[in-house]
Amino acid sequence: MSDLRNVYFISGLAADDRLFENLVLPPEYKIIHVKWIDPVKQEDLESYCHRLAAQIDTSAPFVLVGMSFGGMVAVELNKFLKPQQTILISSITTRSGLSLLLKTVDKLQLHKLVPGFIYTNFYPAAHWFFNARTKAQKKLVRSFMEKASRKLLVWSIDQVVGWKNEFVPENIFIINGQDDRVFPHQNTNAQVLINGGGHMMVHSKAAEISTVLATQLAKVNW
């Protein structure tokens, strides 16, 4: 068994590693945060993921942990990378996991009628949608929206609502919350369901999720 236990974390849509700041894993795991990059003109998700994969050292065993859109990206990465396991938090594996709301947005192309600046400034709706309940969580959501690349944000939303994937990695493990408004747990086939967990539960219920992650990582064949 290799001494290297690299765990790559991919955050939610246009967010960053602060989503995972409350997680605590055993010291034998090296946490590496994958950084979002801006898409190039008319880039599809497949091409984008190939560029993003440059941040992942495939010469050593590794696990992917993706939150929300980061989980969808992790599924896409599985199409050409071979992680020891892929763990999804507040995410989905296929298009069937999208809520009726998101499917309707895609069908009517409603997201393309909204100017980009709305995405980065419409805080009350974002707080409700992401189950941001505390002052700290709302502050974090606001910070993400203010700092996000508008180009990346608009592109990412288009990728989420238009996701057509039907491929399910064999080595998938899914953790979802009972109160998730973005990806309702009824559509996710989650192995672990977090009581009272909203879409930002990786931050708000980090102690509980840290325990689940540590247990699951211990089962990985490194």
Domain spans of the chain? 6-217
Q: What pTM was computed for the model? A: 0.90
- Using the predicted structure, report yes or no on whether residue 47 has a pLDDT greater than 80: yes
Q: What is the pLDDT of residues 74-95, one digit of tens each?
A: 999 999 999 999 999 999 999 9
Topology, domain 6-217: Rossmann fold (3.40.50)
* Distance from C-alpha of 180 to C-alpha of 202, rounded to nearest angstrom: 12
- Cα angle 73, 75, 94 (rounded to 5 degrees) comes to 105
- Give pLDDT, residue 159: 94
- Give pLDDT, residue 129: 67
From the number of C-beta atoms within 10 Å of its C-beta (0-12, 13-18, 19+), residue 17 rates as middle
